[in-house]
Amino acid sequence: MQKKSLPTENNDALECAVAAIAAAMADPSRVKMLCALMDGRAWTATELSAAADVAPSTASGHLARLVEGKLIVCLSQGRHRYYRLAGHDVAELVEQIMGLSWNRIMPPETTAPKTMREARTCYDHLAGTIAVQIYDFMLAENWLEPDGSALTVLGREQFLKLGIALNTHSRRKACCACLDWSERRFHMGGEAGAALLIFLETKGWIQRVAGYREVVVTPVGKSAIHQHFSR
C-alpha cells in the first residue's frame, strides 16, 4: 500500500520549525546559556551573561532569540525576571546535541573536575560515572530495553520493589538513553531517570551542591548504590 504523503503546507511548516530551532541555537553564546540552564534552575539575565561571557546588552539579544525559538521561557517574580529551559524535551535535545558534538571531534582531555565527572545533574536526572554504571547494570540485568527507550516489565517491578515512584501518566518519555558528555556512554533520562534522581536524593544517598550541577555521593550512598546497582 502506498503511503500517503503529508500535505505540502505541513511539510513547509515542519521545515520552518526545524530551521527556527537550528537558528536559535546557532551561536556559541546561546549554546553556553542553554548548557548553563541544564542544571534545572532558573537563571537571571545577569547570571547567564556571565556564563556566556558576554555583555549584559548582548545577552539580552541572545535571550530574546532563545525565547522566540521556544527553547527557554521567561518567568517574572516581582521585579525580577528569570529564564529556564522550556521543558524536558528541550533538555533532552541539548543533551543529545552535546553528545553528538563530542562525537564529531577527536576526544579531548576533559577539563571537567573529577567530582563533576563522578556525579552531576543533567536537568532533572543523574549524569556522570555513577549514572553510567547504574545504566550499564540495568541493561545487563534486563531492567531496560536494549536501546534504553523503556523499562522492561522486570525493570518496573524492580523500581517498585526499591520504592522508586514512576508517574505513569506523564506526557514525557518514560525512559531514554542520554549520551553522557564526560563519559561518552549512556546514562538514563526521561521519567525513569528523574524518578531515580528523586529516589537517590530522598534516601540520602546523594546530596546536591547548592547552586551547582555537582552531586556528592554520600558514604552511605556509595555502599547502597553498590549493593543495589552492581553485579
Confidence band of 161 (pLDDT split at 50, 70, 90): very high
Residues 84 and 70: beta-carbon distance below 8 Å: no
C-alpha cell belonging to residue 211: 547552586
pLDDT above 60: residue 215: yes
Summarised one tens digit per residue, pLDDT across range 102-141 is 555 554 455 556 667 888 888 889 999 999 999 999 999 9
Q: Find cell 553522557 and name the residue.
A: 180
Q: Cβ contacts of residue 47 below 8 Å, gap of 6+?
A: 36
Q: What is the mean pLDDT of the chain?
A: 84
Q: Quick one: pLDDT at residue 203?
A: 96
Instruction: Quickly count: other Cβ atoms within 10 Å of residue 229's Cβ.
Output: 18
Query: Is a pLDDT exceeding 80 seen at residue 208?
Result: yes
Measured between alpha carbons, how far is 142 from 154 in angstroms, rounded to an integer?
7
What percentage of the chain has pLDDT greater than the value 70?
A: 87
The predicted model gives 27-48 an average pLDDT of 86
State the pLDDT at residue 5.
55
Identify the CA nearest to 183 among candidates 56, 80, 98, 125: 98
Per cent of the chain over pLDDT 90 is 42
Q: 168 pairs with which residues across the strands?
A: none
Residue 87 has pLDDT above 90, yes or no: no
Q: Which domains does the chain have, with CATH numbers?
A: 8-86 (1.10.10.10), 89-228 (no CATH)
Check residue 55 and give its pLDDT. 93
Residues 21-33: tens digit of each pLDDT: 888 888 999 998 9
> What pLDDT score does 108 carry?
47
E-strand spans in 128-200?
Answer: 176-179, 186-189
Which pLDDT value is given to residue 231?
81
